[in-house]
Structure 1
Amino acid sequence: MPHGMCLLWEPWLVLLWAGSDLMIFVAYMAIPLALITVLRRRGDFRHRALVALFASFILLCGVTHLMGIVTLWYPIYPLTAALKLATGIVSLATAFVLFRLIPVLLRIPTPDTHDEVIGQLEVTLADLSRSRDELENRVRQRTEELKDANTRLALTARDAVQRSRNLIQVVSSLTRPGVEISQYPERFLRELRGRINALAIATSTVMEQDDTARASLERVIRRQIEPLFNAPAQQLSTDGPVVEVGAQGAQQLSLIAWELASRFVQIGRAEQARGHIAVTWTIESSDADENGSNLALEWRESFKSSLDTDHDSGAEQTPGGTPLPLDEFSETLLTRIIPRLLDGKGRFEIAPALFLYRLTCPMNAITARSAAIEAEIDERGSRATDIPTEAA
């Protein structure tokens, strides 16, 4: 018997019953279609079996509602019962799987958790970006420092080569005196050691000044010749403006001082007691010289008379002693070799009771520092200038 008879074939009731089942059927057909579409487009979805069970369950539910419409007019209840059995089996399976997946589903992050994780990832990404920028700046800074170090190393190497050439030239000149070595071997070796020692003292005097790599002209002169005198305070005087000399200038001036002082101490004790050395220097401007100002260095040896040294004796006054003349090599060294290295001129005069040596050279020839030292000082100055800026 059709199910419509149970409804007494009331038109409005039959229409309401059939219309409701039809709407439920259409909805239950659309929902599985939407779920299947999601599964096809999202291949990374982890719980695909659960979604498939839900789609099957909803689809069978829709078919049972369709059979509810059919049985209003056609009593095919066995088929309807079979469909309901299948729907029940799928429903139980879906419920069983769903309960098994409850712990897994509870671990699925909530939107708030997603937002929090995204925020943390953004902070981490910002930190990584900042670290990357700092690393790039550090690498760039280290690269620049390495370039500067290589530049300073190249300058230092070039300066060392230049200094070695100068020293080799000077030492080569010192080992070729005008007299034969075989005639005065001991004297030659003593003077050679003294000249080389003068160069070493000059270099050490300059290198003691770590910050400037220069030394005062007065210190260079005094440190070279004071050890040769018994009473340097009475026998030696220096006077002149403050002049800072570089390594090469100090070496050449020290060699001049040693050459003249060693010659002075070779005279007798009495002559030494009456002798006095005055070293003076001035800075002369030279408009005609493109190098600028010149240094005029004067070495003056004067000797007092015997009456001046002994007022109480009744001896007759005798004139001051005559200075020792320069030997051939000393004259060459003082008037040709050293002035040429300093791009200057040297001359001397000998008179009774007086010896005078005068050297004139450009200021930049004695004050110039090596390129490596200049680069190092410039870098120190730039670093000192950058410190307040970084602190600010």
Structure 2
Amino acid sequence: MGLLDSVRALFETQSLSPHGICLLWRPELIWTHAVSDLLIGIAYFSIPLALGVFLYHRRDVRFSWAVWMFVAFIMLCGVTHFMMIWTLWNPDYGVEAVIKAATAAVSLVTAVALWPLLPKAIALPSTAALQVSLAERDAALEELRGAMNTMMEMREHESRQKLLLDELNHRVKNTLASVQSVAVQTLSDARDMQDARDLFIERLMALSSTHNLLVKREWESASLRELADSTLKPYGRPFEITGSDLRLDANLAVSLGMALHELATNALKHGAWKGEGRIDIEVDIDGGQDLTIVWRESGGPEVTPPKRRGFGSRLLERGVAMELQGEVKLDFRRSGLVCTIRARASDRIQVMEPRAA
């Protein structure tokens, strides 16, 4: 029998009887099955419709592709129930078999794909933990609002209070966004959960170091030299900064501080600091407007270009370049990594007066 004959035989109905005959066409059985399958089918279509609307409005949901697979599986289950109503009166069991086979295939793929996602899903912060964090933040804001209300008088003080609260809220949101970004990128870069934990803690400590520096400067700005010293000195390895110093605004200081941490960590694991090498940071000013910052590694083991871009590379080539509206280039030379940052002076990055020798 050929393939075409097999297909025809699958959909042949002349020798078959509708399912109602098995029920002896008893109305109470026929209509109980029909109404039940109809209601189940409608429910099966309603559930994926609700999930689809949710995913359409919340496109930031992680693992959304897995939810879409559930949508397909549930909808096919609904179609099988509608077919069960149809076959009460029409013996189209071939069509029903094809639909059930498709449902089985989608359900199997969904079930197999679900297990590898479990470790990543379990590692995500729980709703309860996020609610506790938000509650603590709200409580802190309420306490701050109450304390400021007792200290400030008349409409001028109220205006100052609102300004400070808005600024605090803005900084808290920026900090939470930075932590969220670090968490997501760490999960992407890590080999396993222990590695993810270690990377996450290291990056949070680097973020904390930059925040401490900004707090000393009343969260207005930080100098490049201060930022490099606070980030690189804890490693206890040789480095030197030459050229003019730069004043960085708060957000740019956070991004550049994280980038310096990633460069230093890479140098310790793979670059100059893995051996007896050193790091030199050179700042060059051309005409008072064009700025060039060069991170240069030397004296370490021979360097080979990485096979993929990690968090540090993406942070430099995208985040820092976008913040500066400039250009960042990573050159993995055999003698050592050279990272070149080019930008123009602006209100976010300014040349500071040279310090006395």
Question: What TM-score, normalized to structure 2?
Answer: 0.48
Question: What TM-score, normalized to structure 1?
Answer: 0.44
Identify which of structures 1 and 2 has the higher relative contact order when contacts are C-alpha pairs closer than 8 Å and 6+ apart. 1
> Quick check: which has more Rg, 1 or 2?
1
